[in-house]
Chain A
Amino acid sequence: MTAVLEMRGIGKEYYGNRVLRGIDLEVGAGEVVCLVGENGAGKSTLMNILFGMPVILETGGFEGTVKIGGEDVRIQSPQQAMELGVGMVHQEFMLVPGFSVVENIKLNREVTRSNLISTILEGISSFGSRLRSLDEATMLADAQAALDRVGLDVDPLDLVGELPVGHKQFIEIAREVDRSRARLLVFDEPSAVLAETEADRLLTTMKQLAADGIGILFITHRLDEVLEIADRVVVLRDGEQVCTMQRQETDASKIAELMVGRKVEARSLPARKFPVQDEDRILTVRDLRVSMPGESVSGLDLNVRRGEILGVGGLAGYGKLGLSNGLAGLFAATGEVAKDGQPFPLHNPLEAMKRGMAFVSEDRRGVGLLLDESIELNMGLPWIHCQKRFLKSWIPGLGLLDGSSLSKHARQMIERFDIRCVGSEQPVRRLSGGNQQKVCIAKAITGDPDLLLVNEPTRGVDVGAKQRILDELVALNRKQRMTVVLTSSELAELRSVCDRVAIVSRGRVSKILAPDAPDVEFGLAMAG
């Protein structure tokens, strides 16, 4: 069997930060290879290298060799990758809604024939070729052939915007198939947006394409799909290739364990003064549905015990972020939620804050901060609005800001969290990521909440600040008996500080595990 793709010894560093090391990947013609790994395992970097994305070149290239169809290549741009017959089926649709199916399949690869003007102009400059007329009949025939190959029955002249979501994925595939030299197709989590029956059909289509001799690289989190279709499975973890297995050598629990497995740093947590009791629930969530794009929650049940640190983990796009965003009221949500036994309103951030809930968003710069405002204003503003704190009282009703009490509070927080800054009036834009994160947490606890929801507190934060932030969360929990719901993509982090870890998969809690539960259980729970 000839190898369509052969990657040898691939490694990559971003600014001295090693993200990939010694990856060997081979895809034969007509073979389906599944690439699995947690978020951040290095799958997307590997794909960026394969497609010659600018981000790779701008950061100093990569190590190792890439062969396509047996020939050494240095891919410098996505266009070049396409010309070499490497296609990518995106997770998000790259389709123009106002164009017909044909126009989308042939986007920027239109069939043209010359006309009088283009012929004249081509003599002058290469731009003339852009004035060639479209050969609509040939385009239509090509598109129809591609649609037949992926087994999609639509009128090629229909507008894509009016088609159901499921069809769009297949049009994307048809577009890749239509490239006359398509030899290798990469599917990047294509089934994440598909319904069950469509996902099945997708697998059938992939099998057919493989049978036609196209090599397929399939990135997915669904282990059942992996087992059904893969000829071989490649597992990445922390930028390293953990192993490559033939399908018959493996099963779901083995893959899951390999994906997650890593040592959990032992951390001695301070003892609790207040015991956590199962029946004392600060928050009960029943059938929560949150429509957060890309992180939707569909029918989630959860109990949060007063005084605990509850971890929420899961794969990106499976709804773990939607839980806290929905509870904090940032996205439209339905369901029965009660806090302290009282019904709790959804989609109402102000009321959530008034009821003692504070939220630290995962999108620090987008949602968490006013980048051009001072540290003190960032910390105070939500509570100025919600609790009317830090206001002067001498003209009632005017609500004039009391600058001195605000700066005093901010200075205390700066000291407590060790925020490195020039002063409490420094705009937060000029702080480092870690210090910005500390401001976000300080902002949240300024309102003295009894329930703190924290999303991704250590993302993009240096090691020292990471430690400090986790320590401070534990201290809040132990000293002030603040209940913390900690959502993070880093399982190791959750397992080091939490009392329990809830794994969210496909919008629901798939399992609640003890932090010291075996790796394989975490792996299986994450894959659903």
Chain B
Amino acid sequence: MKRVLAMLRNHAVPVTFLLVSLALCIASRQSASFLTGEILNRLVRNSFTTLSLLIPVLAGLGLNFGIVIGAMAGQMAIVTVVHWNLTGFSALGTAWILALPIAVIFGWLVGCLFNRAKGREMVTGLIAGFFSNGLYQLLFLFLVGSLIPFSNPDLILPQGFGLRNTVNLKSMEYSLDDVASVSWMAGKGMEVRLAGKVVRKPEAPAADPDNPFAALRAMSASFSPPIKLPLATAGIIVLLCVGIRRLLRTKLGQDMRAVGQDMHIAAVAGIPVDQVRMVAVILSTVLAAWGQIIYLQNMGTLNTYSSHEQIGMFAVASLLVGGATVSRATVWQALMGTLMFHTLFVTSPLAGKHLMGDPQIGEYFRVFIAYGVIAVALALHAWGGGKKSSD
């Protein structure tokens, strides 16, 4: 019993959020299959980006709010492959390759900023995100098509310059997910796709007019969306998790941990502190760019001017909900946090509707949760840090 209590105390944050998300799941009055499908989809879609935050945390840079800039790099690559009319997996692969150099350059710039603003990387990252968003808008809203020669009526606004607000990504929708995916459809069974092709079709429910249950099943099947597990994307996420853990057991990973623990001691021991921090930021930015591409191939549309904006906040909130702190984070916390945060995100408007009679309350509530959890986590971290220094 004592051990259970101690465990609860040590994991107060994730346990609280687990309880809240369970309560909201119940209050939302949705079918288990709907919730499972929705949450699973979001988990797979967002985990990669959340995981991209881990390395800077371990290298002592705190929560990298600058991943927004990585997301922008991903979107630049996506716009380019759409312009080149690439489709399917080749579009996705090209986008990944294209995003790499862009994200490396962006990451290097952010790293330079962070090395100049040691001790306040987080607020610098946040503002750098806002600032880059301005530059991004300048580029895509004004320069593309005017200063930068670019003509593609599908992408450009009718005025002749500036990108459209939404870019259709149907050509590459699910291009990664459907490399291997399994969908379970209520009442119909499984559908399996491999390399984008359906290899196992779900059975159509037997049309038996004499059996009232069969008709009911057919009806329920047409109402509830399938629960889809994109195995390929999940596989990539598992690969990333393993990769991050392996990285930590290399010389570079050890250097990162040392820098994260104490920059001064690491420097005295001869570790190139600035370089290690730089590598951490670049890795994080590149992973965020790739994560954004994964996210967008699942969404199927790019909101040119807003898709990247909240990425940073959602990823940071997810990581913190999982029980991570500004200086400590694990792969499991990232995954569990993404799961719980997106459960909250799906259920809170629905719960708001049922409990308060107003879905708007739930909408506001989830924004509040996202900001509030970050505020609390930051405050708790600084609180502990303050105590340490005054001892």
Contact = CB atoms under 8 A, between A and B. Distances in A.
Direct contact of A and B (CB under 8 A): yes
Interface of A: 78-79, 82, 94-99, 103, 107-108, 110, 112, 115, 118, 129-134, 136
Interface in B205-255: 246-247, 249-252, 254-255
Q: Which residue, of B246, B265, B270, B271, has the highest number of chain A Cβ atoms within 10 A?
A: B265
Contacts of B261: 96-99
A133 B249 contact: yes
A96 B265 CA distance: 7
A212 to B, nearest CB: 24
Interface of B: 246-247, 249-252, 254-255, 257-258, 261-262, 265-266, 268-271
A103 B254 contact: yes
A112 B254 CA distance: 11
B329 to A, nearest CB: 14
Given A99-B258, A108-B258, A133 B250 contact: yes
B270 A131 contact: no
Contact of A134 (B251, B262, B271): B251
A453 B272 CA distance: 44
Nearest 4 pairs of A and B residues by beta carbon: A108-B269, A130-B252, A96-B261, A107-B269
Given A98-B261, A99-B261, A110 B270 contact: no
Q: Which residue, of A82, A94, A115, has the highest number of chain B Cβ atoms within 10 A?
A: A94
27 contacts: A79-B270, A82-B270, A94-B268, A95-B265, A96-B258, A96-B265, A96-B266, A97-B261, A97-B262, A98-B261, A99-B261, A107-B265, A107-B266, A107-B269, A108-B255, A108-B266, A108-B269, A108-B270, A110-B254, A112-B251, A118-B250, A129-B251, A133-B246, A134-B250, A134-B251, A134-B254, A136-B249
A129 B250 CA distance: 9
B251 A110 contact: yes
Contacts of B271: 107-108
Given A99-B257, A108-B271, A130 B250 contact: yes
Nearest to B327: A98
Given A99-B258, A131-B252, 18 more contacts: A78-B268, A78-B270, A79-B270, A94-B269, A95-B265, A96-B258, A98-B257, A98-B261, A99-B257, A107-B265, A107-B266, A108-B255, A108-B269, A108-B271, A112-B250, A115-B250, A118-B250, A131-B247
A101 to B, nearest CB: 14
Contacts of A107: 258, 265-266, 269, 271
B73 to A, nearest CB: 21
A108 B250 CA distance: 12
A130 B249 CA distance: 11
Contacts of A134: 249-251, 254
B258 A131 contact: no
Given A131-B251, A134-B249, A96 B262 contact: yes
Nearest to A112: B251
A132 B265 contact: no
B262 A130 contact: no
Contacts of B268: 78, 94
A344 B270 CA distance: 49
Contacts of A95: 265
B271 to A, nearest CB: 5
Contacts of A132: 250-251
A117 B154 CA distance: 41
Q: Which residue, of A82, A107, A110, A132, has the highest number of chain B Cβ atoms within 10 A?
A: A107
Nearest to A78: B270
Contacts of A110: 251, 254
Contacts of B269: 94, 107-108
A160 to B, nearest CB: 10
Contacts of A133: 246, 249-250
Contacts of A130: 250-252, 255
Contacts of B250: 112, 115, 118, 130-134
Contacts of A97: 261-262
Nearest to A132: B251
A94 B251 contact: no
A172 to B, nearest CB: 11
Q: Which residue, of B246, B270, B271, has the highest number of chain A Cβ atoms within 10 A?
A: B270
Contacts of A96: 258, 261-262, 265-266
Nearest to B262: A96
A99 B246 CA distance: 18
Q: Which residue, of A78, A108, A115, A133, has the highest number of chain B Cβ atoms within 10 A?
A: A108
A78 to B, nearest CB: 7
Nearest to B271: A108
B245 to A, nearest CB: 12
Contacts of B251: 110, 112, 129-132, 134
A115 B252 CA distance: 13
Nearest to A107: B269
Contacts of A94: 265, 268-269
Contacts of A118: 250
A131 B249 CA distance: 9
B206 to A, nearest CB: 52
B39 to A, nearest CB: 34
A291 B270 CA distance: 33
A108 B268 CA distance: 10
A78 B249 CA distance: 27
A132 B255 CA distance: 12
Contacts of A82: 270
B222 to A, nearest CB: 49
Nearest to A111: B251
Contacts of A115: 250
B164 to A, nearest CB: 40
Nearest to A88: B268
A95 B247 CA distance: 23
A110 B195 CA distance: 43
A68 B261 CA distance: 34
A112 B252 CA distance: 11
Contacts of A78: 268, 270
A66 to B, nearest CB: 20
A375 B112 CA distance: 38
A235 B84 CA distance: 78
